[in-house]
């Protein structure tokens, strides 16, 4: 049976609906108004073999922060729902991902404890692209000319906080901010895919000496 999580979240700043199938084929159906993030979410689905459907809008007249961060939150909520009690999963995963001159690393523990380490070595300079008419990835973005790279950390912070996941993301070397961010999304997707997979040797057990993977007391090691 497929593990699916679906969440809708509407605030005064954003309106987001996401459906996630952990046991998918890597298909993405995105209606997302920020072209570069649509590209990253499509990449994330493909490398994680997650099926993802996203409908999103937000107050882009303010900036991109609210929508990008809230997307991470809703996607994290979908992961938590899809994983359920986490019975039988591998729990941990990692990936070292090369992309041309860039080498990125992701390590994840589906621990029930939210913690992010983000060392991406980004320049902070927005990524600029020429406006393009038409749709992007099945009805997504058109017309924007730049992406605020500092929002990437906000995305992942929202994700881990909502999913209850420990995630370390590091760029070990690289020049292009585009490559750094994309390699991190690919590495994270593959690490999360590994951690979320069912371990055939576990006999359906919850992978923790406590017998549960959920809300934990600070400092308690599972």
Whether 127 and 147 have beta carbons less than 8 Å apart is answered as yes
> For 22-52, what is the HEC assignment?
CCCCCCEEEECCCHHHHHHHHHHHHHHCCEE
Is 70 exceeded by the pLDDT of residue 145? Answer: no
The predicted model gives 136-160 an average pLDDT of: 77
d(CA 116, CA 125): 22
The confidence band for 216, taking pLDDT boundaries of 50, 70 and 90, is very low
Q: Give me the percent of the chain exceeding a pLDDT of 70.
A: 84
| β partners of residue 7 | 18
pLDDT in tens, 62-73: 999 999 999 999
Q: Write out the two tokens for 50.
A: 């997650």
The confidence band for 140, taking pLDDT boundaries of 50, 70 and 90, is very low
Q: Give me the percent of the chain exceeding a pLDDT of 90.
A: 80
Is 70 exceeded by the pLDDT of residue 217? Answer: no
The predicted model gives 22-39 an average pLDDT of: 97
The predicted model gives 42-62 an average pLDDT of: 97
Domain 4-196 is in which class? alpha beta
Is 70 exceeded by the pLDDT of residue 117? Answer: yes
The predicted model gives 191-196 an average pLDDT of: 98
Domain residue ranges of the chain, discontinuous segments joined by +: 4-196
Q: Under DSSP, is residue 144 helix (H, G, I), strand (E, B) or coil? A: coil
pTM of the prediction? 0.88
Distances from the Cα of 45 to the Cα of 24, 158, 193, 207, angstroms? 9, 18, 10, 25
How confident is the prediction for the chain on average, in pLDDT?
Answer: 89
Q: Which of 25-39, 133-147, 205-219 has the lowest mean pLDDT?
A: 133-147
Is 70 exceeded by the pLDDT of residue 208? Answer: no
Is 50 exceeded by the pLDDT of residue 141? Answer: no
């Amino acid at each position: 049976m497929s593990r699916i999580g679906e969440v809708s979240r509407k605030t005064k700043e954003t309106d987001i609906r996401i459906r996630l199938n952990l046991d998918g084929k890597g298909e993405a159906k995105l209606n997302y108004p920020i072209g570069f993030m649509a590209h990253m979410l499509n990449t994330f689905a493909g490398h994680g073999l997650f099926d993802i459907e996203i409908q999103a809008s937000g107050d882009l007249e303010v900036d991109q922060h609210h929508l990008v961060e809230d997307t991470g939150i809703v996607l994290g909520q979908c992961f938590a729902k899809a994983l359920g009690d986490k019975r039988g999963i591998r729990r941990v995963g990692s990936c070292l991902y090369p992309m041309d001159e860039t080498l990125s690393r992701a390590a994840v523990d589906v621990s029930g404890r939210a913690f992010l380490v983000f060392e991406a070595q980004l320049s902070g300079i927005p990524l600029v692209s020429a406006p393009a008419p038409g749709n992007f990835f099945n009805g997504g973005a058109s017309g924007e000319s730049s992406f605020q790279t500092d929002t990437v950390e906000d995305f992942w912070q929202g994700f881990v906080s909502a999913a209850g996941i420990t995630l370390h993301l590091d760029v070990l070397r690289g020049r292009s901010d585009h490559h750094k961010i994309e390699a991190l999304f690919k590495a994270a997707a593959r690490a999360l895919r590994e951690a979320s997979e069912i371990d055939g040797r576990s006999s359906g057990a919850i992978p923790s000496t406590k017998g549960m993977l959920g809300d934990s007391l600070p400092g308690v090691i599972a």
